[in-house]
Amino acid sequence: MDAILNDTSAKMEKTISALKAEYGAIRAGRANPAVLDKIRVDYYGTPTPINQMAAVAVSEARILTIQPWDASTVRGIERAIQGSDLGINPQSDGRTIRLMFPQLTEDHRKNIAKDIKHQAEDAKVSIRGTRRDIAEKLKKQQKAAELTEDDLKDLEKELQELTDRFIKEIDALAVAKDKEVMEI
């Protein structure tokens, strides 16, 4: 029985990890290397993440510096950033690429806050879906006489507590990210 709850917890933890990754990629007006995680550069015919081709660092609050290990990849990295939905034009001196993050407007902040809420709601739906799937499996086990009715009730109660804990964690992540985006 503990194995079922451990598997469920692991599935729900993956949802939280995915949400954290999505929130990390949200541009909140300051330089954050995670915004580059989804961008791939064609490196000798292989789509490669920027952080595997270069040293990425925050040099100032709103400036991200990218120093490729292979100088011949500077143009490719620039093109990949320009072609992405990042909305920032890279500036290069031939060896180092700089990304200047502009101050976000109030409207843009509000739109990002809406996206944060939508992502949180999607994560909650995923958590609840996992709970529903496991609850159905438990009921099938009880019908097949693999579980007693008391065991089923206990497991359902633990499953609900697990679900509530992860929902609270999602809410806390969303509030923290919203606060980060809305502060000037």
**CATH code where residue 37 lies:** 3.30.1360.40
Please give the pLDDT value at position 125: 95
| Whether residues 14 and 40 fall in one domain | no
| Whether residues 89 and 130 fall in one domain | no
Please give the pLDDT value at position 27: 66
| Whether residues 125 and 164 fall in one domain | yes
d(CA 56, CA 158): 43
Please give the pLDDT value at position 46: 85
Please give the pLDDT value at position 38: 82
d(CA 39, CA 27): 14
Q: What is the pTM of this model?
A: 0.72
Q: Which residues of the chain have pLDDT under 50?
A: none
**Residue spans of beta strands (DSSP E) within the chain:** 40-43, 46-49, 54-60, 63-68, 91-92, 97-100
| Whether residues 134 and 166 fall in one domain | yes
| Whether residues 148 and 113 fall in one domain | yes
CATH number, domain of 113, equals: 1.10.132.20
| Whether residues 167 and 152 fall in one domain | yes
| Whether residues 84 and 145 fall in one domain | no
Domain boundary among 42, 77, 100: 100
Q: Which of 77, 108, 105, 103 is nearest to 90 (CA)?
A: 77
Please give the pLDDT value at position 133: 92
Please give the pLDDT value at position 1: 65
| Whether residues 84 and 118 fall in one domain | no
| Whether residues 120 and 178 fall in one domain | yes
Please give the pLDDT value at position 39: 85
Domain boundary among 100, 129, 152: 100
Q: Amino acid letter at 94?
A: G
| Whether residues 54 and 15 fall in one domain | no
Work out whether strand 40-43 and strand 46-49 pair parallel, antiparallel, or are unpaired: antiparallel
| Whether residues 139 and 86 fall in one domain | no
Domain boundary among 79, 100, 121: 100
| Whether residues 43 and 61 fall in one domain | yes
Quote the number of domains for the chain: 2
d(CA 12, CA 27): 25
Give the residue numbers spanning the domain of 72.
Answer: 33-100
